[in-house]
Amino acid sequence: MNRFKNVIILIVILLTSISCAQQDQSNSITMDQFKEQLKSDKNMILLDVRTPEELAGPLGKIETAINIPLQVLEQRISELEKFKDKEIIVICRTQNRSAVAVNILNKNGYKAKNVLGGMTEFRKN
């Protein structure tokens, strides 16, 4: 039953992500902007919303990233409370889940931006 519930949640997230991916680009940053900020801003708050299994996969993890999977973000959002006055940069595999996460964070009073292209784009040469 739990597995079925997780599948339903993922379907809803994916359907939501389609509309969020088409959202206003003001809540997003380009890969070039992200890479530059990653190099220059040692205090950048980076949230990776992929699953732990994905972090261990071929795309890897950015060391400074906080990992809270999208599926549990709303339940664990209080873990980000200390960053409420800062901008949170959100990344996932391709940008769809991170767009949903940005929407959730912004609705809860956080300032968040989505990394366009996600880890797939980040790992390209």
Any idea what the Cα angle at residue 12 is, between residues 53 and 107, rounded to 5°? 90
Q: How far apart are CA 53 and CA 60, in angstroms?
A: 10
Bridge partner list, 48? 67, 91
Which one is catalytic: 80, 92, 105, 112? Answer: 92
Our answer to whether residue 20 is catalytic in this structure is: no
Q: How far apart are CA 87 and CA 110, in angstroms?
A: 7
In 3D, which of 91, 103, 110, 113 has the Cα closest to residue 26? 113
Cβ 52 vs Cβ 11: under 8 Å: no
Block residue for tokens 């994905």:
54
Block residue for tokens 């940053």:
29
So which residues are the catalytic ones? 92
